[in-house]
Chain A
Amino acid sequence: MPRTSRFEGRLLIAPLTAFLIALLGFPLVLDIIYSISHVGFENIRAPELTGFSNYAKAIADPEFWAAAWFSLRFGLIVAVIQVVAGLGLAVFLAPLFAKRPWLIALLMLPMMVAPALVGLMYRLILHEFVGAVPYYLLEWYGDFPAFLGRDWAFTTLVTVETLQWTPFALLILHSSYAAVSPDIREAASLDGARGRRLFLNIDLPLMLPAIGITFFLRFIDSFRVFDNLYTLVGPGAGGSTTSMSIYIYQAFFKVGDIGLAVAASMLLLVASFMVLWVINGLTARKAPL
């Protein structure tokens, strides 16, 4: 490459590089400093460096691990349910979508609502004295479960998250299903493949990359759940619904231990990076095929 062209290339990429450094680099450096400091709101502009004690505190804190387990469990369960439901809907509703594509827009509506509002909405819907669900359960069966109580909160949260975000899985998987070439299906049909066999041997393998991407997107989004969970139940009785995001929020704003909050978020960042690195590695290895 001629020297002038290389210079021009660097010049053109400079604004983007500066933008990334300013937007990602600066907060990262600040976070690293805070994570190794004793810092609260009182000394936020003059943190005292204390080494890695915040990391040690987070790692030794059983509540950190409880929050990590909650988020992991929540993320995995919700992602699996949404992918399975989204896939089922995409396949079974495909003929309907082909005739009436506007139905897809209708099904996307839940995604248009801010998660915090969804949480508030269900807080009302499930409230014993103003909500429709307990009212009708009481009318019909004479009783209803404590939807937001300790025993039911997790199930309620999974249901709420699933109802709001399954349309996202449906959208991607519907596109993927629609992209499978009719020629391939026709060829398989000529060979005698029908129904479930056609789906399992032709459609599903071709949709696998889309299913994988949908799963990871939904897992990442659900793992970092905060808004709807916070407005619906908060950290829960005895901290029973504390996700990683809520743990970090509580440590930062409620306890004022900014060092601990940032150290926990850095640990989360490292864990996320490792997962992405593994996924990236797997994808790169499969690329030549």
Chain B
Amino acid sequence: MTRLNTLLTSAALFAALGVTGAMAEVTVLGWPGGPEEAGLRKAADAYNATATDADKVKLIFFNRDGFFDKLAADLAAGSTDFDVNLLATYALGRYAPFMDPITLPDASKATFPEKVLATMQYDGKQYGIPTDLSLHFMYYRKDLVEKLLADADWKAKYGEISEKYLGKKLEPKDPDAWTWEDWMAMALFFTKSINSDSPTRYGTVLQMKNLLFNMMVWQSTARAQGGDWMNDKGEITVDSPAYRTALDIYKKLYDEGTSPKDSTTYEFAEANAAFGAGQAATMLQWNAAFGDLDNKDKTPAVAGKIGTVAPPAGPEGRFTHIHGLGLGINKASKNKEGAVKFLNWLGTPDAMVIYAKAGGSPALSDAVVAKVSTERPDLVKLGQYAGSYGFVMHGGTAAKALQVYELQAKEFTAYWSGGKSLDEALAAAKTGMADLLKP
């Protein structure tokens, strides 16, 4: 009898806990284990401090490993375990059928630049509030570039090398004025095997591993030449002269030895190791790398000597790939009203200031970023670059956008490593993309 009572009491307790969990709280599934989680926790605490019991937010987190696949399976299964869930620009099309579009509150239009809001749009509809943004900086060694700009002998050598390898005599320029050709000349000049006076072994470090994220890093090169995944008619244009030029820029730099031999296996960490060792003069890399590279304890060889600018300009202008993380509403949610309230609050300047100060990386409008610029100076450039140079490829939020990146990674790395000709790689990419992006 005692055991029966214990069981009944335990059951009642579990039931009570379950009821508490389901008491119209807003459950938010966030991106785990990084500054995004820290930011969201602070933001949720601030929101809960004033929200009614029915609107309070409860946070849950999966493991990062396989996060998007698990999320896709949960959304497709109509899970009601969360009301608000994480979104990523490149997976928008995959999740859109299982999410509710939102109406942006006026406050969010003042909080974020238009291009940043667009990272959460699919098929003309807004699916989320953008919380974090990733884009690319051109990292360079300030000390070396300054010397090059001031030293007559180095300048003369720079002209000789650019003439020999690029067919035209170039003058060194300030990094903020670089074209892709200037960057190539810089990479050639600072390569020891080409210029024995170079203080670095390599002029740059390219991320050429067969990995979808490396395509995101590289594709700013293609966009600056005028490249896009498809035209307005929906035809795949990946075999355009712009793509050929952009692919050849990497191919030439790799073949001339301006980047480490193993670059075809390099991704974020390996590239940072090369640049952080002080053996690469430039690097096109994610904005997230700056903190560690400029930290004297972690990378003493280069900390304090790093400059960052937006990626170089091409004939069509200057561009950086951007993608965002954000939060949107699960179509199967049982508390959409509470979810909308939370998202409306999250899009306000006050909420984003809390989020940014706690570690998040939102791209904010000038007026809002001014409120955090002392604590987070990196966010100033983030917002500026996203607003001025950010782009998303035509089709970059499609349901199979991730597969497109995977396909490009396989085909383009085949070209760079000598496994396929340019024509073969582009033809395969075009055929595959046509299949993946067909309406």
**A contact residues vs B (CB 8 Å cutoff):** 41-45, 126-130, 145-150, 153, 233-240, 250, 253-256
Contact = CB atoms under 8 A, between A and B. Distances in A.
B69 A253 contact: yes
Given A129-B277, A236-B210, A237-B419, A149 B410 contact: no
30 contacts: A41-B72, A41-B76, A42-B72, A42-B94, A43-B76, A45-B76, A45-B77, A127-B273, A128-B262, A129-B279, A146-B260, A146-B262, A147-B262, A149-B262, A149-B265, A150-B264, A150-B419, A153-B265, A235-B210, A236-B265, A237-B413, A237-B419, A238-B414, A238-B415, A250-B406, A253-B66, A254-B212, A254-B402, A254-B403, A254-B406
Given A129-B273, A129-B277, A238 B262 contact: no
B434 to A, nearest CB: 16
A137 to B, nearest CB: 12
Contact of B414 (A130, A145, A233, A237): A237
Contacts of A250: 406
Nearest to A250: B406
A101 to B, nearest CB: 41
A45 B78 CA distance: 11
A148 B403 contact: no
B215 interface: no
B208 interface: yes
Given A129-B273, A240-B417, A149 B210 contact: no
Interface centre among A44, A234, A237, A253 (most CB of B within 10 A): A237
**Of B94, B406, B410, B413, most A-chain CB atoms within 10 Å:** B410
Interface in B256-278: 260-262, 264-265, 270, 273-274, 276-277
A233 B265 contact: yes
Contacts of B73: 41, 44
Interface in B49-94: 66, 69, 72-73, 76-77, 94
Contacts of A129: 260, 273-274, 276-277, 279
Interface string B217-237: 000000000000000000000
B418 interface: yes
B274 A128 contact: yes
A253 B270 CA distance: 24
A239 B210 contact: yes
Nearest to B273: A129
Q: Which of B72, B265, B417, B420 has the most CB of A within 10 A?
A: B265
Contacts of B77: 44-45
B209 interface: yes
A287 to B, nearest CB: 46
Given A41-B69, A150-B418, A238-B410, 8 more contacts: A45-B77, A128-B260, A129-B276, A148-B265, A149-B265, A153-B265, A238-B414, A253-B66
Nearest to A129: B277
Nearest to B410: A239
- Please name the 7 residue pairs, one residue from A and one from B, whose CB atoms are nearest each other, closest first: A238-B414, A146-B261, A237-B417, A238-B419, A129-B277, A148-B265, A41-B72
A239 B414 contact: yes
B36 interface: no
B416 interface: yes
A136 to B, nearest CB: 16
B118 interface: no
A17 to B, nearest CB: 32
B403 A255 contact: yes
- B interface bracket (residues with beta carbon within 8 Å of A): 35 or more
B353 to A, nearest CB: 36
B411 interface: yes
A241 to B, nearest CB: 9
A238 B260 CA distance: 18
Contacts of B293: none
A233 B419 CA distance: 16
A127 B270 contact: yes
A44 B75 CA distance: 11
B49 to A, nearest CB: 37
Contact of A238 (B66, B270, B400, B411): B411
A245 B245 CA distance: 35
A149 B414 contact: no
Given A41-B76, A150-B264, A239-B414, A130 B208 contact: no
Contacts of B417: 149-150, 237-238, 240
B274 A44 contact: no
B211 interface: yes
Interface centre among B264, B415, B419 (most CB of A within 10 A): B264
A156 B411 CA distance: 23
B274 A238 contact: no
A42 to B, nearest CB: 5
Nearest to A147: B262
B247 to A, nearest CB: 13
A42 B331 CA distance: 14
B403 A149 contact: no
Nearest to A239: B410
Contacts of B418: 150
Contacts of B411: 238
Nearest to B202: A128
Contacts of B265: 148-149, 153, 233-234, 236-237
Nearest to B70: A41
Nearest to A148: B265
A130 B416 contact: no
A149 B260 CA distance: 10
A42 B270 CA distance: 34
A66 B299 CA distance: 41
A221 B50 CA distance: 58
A42 B400 CA distance: 12
A42 B99 CA distance: 13
Contacts of B270: 127
Nearest to B416: A237
A255 B408 CA distance: 12
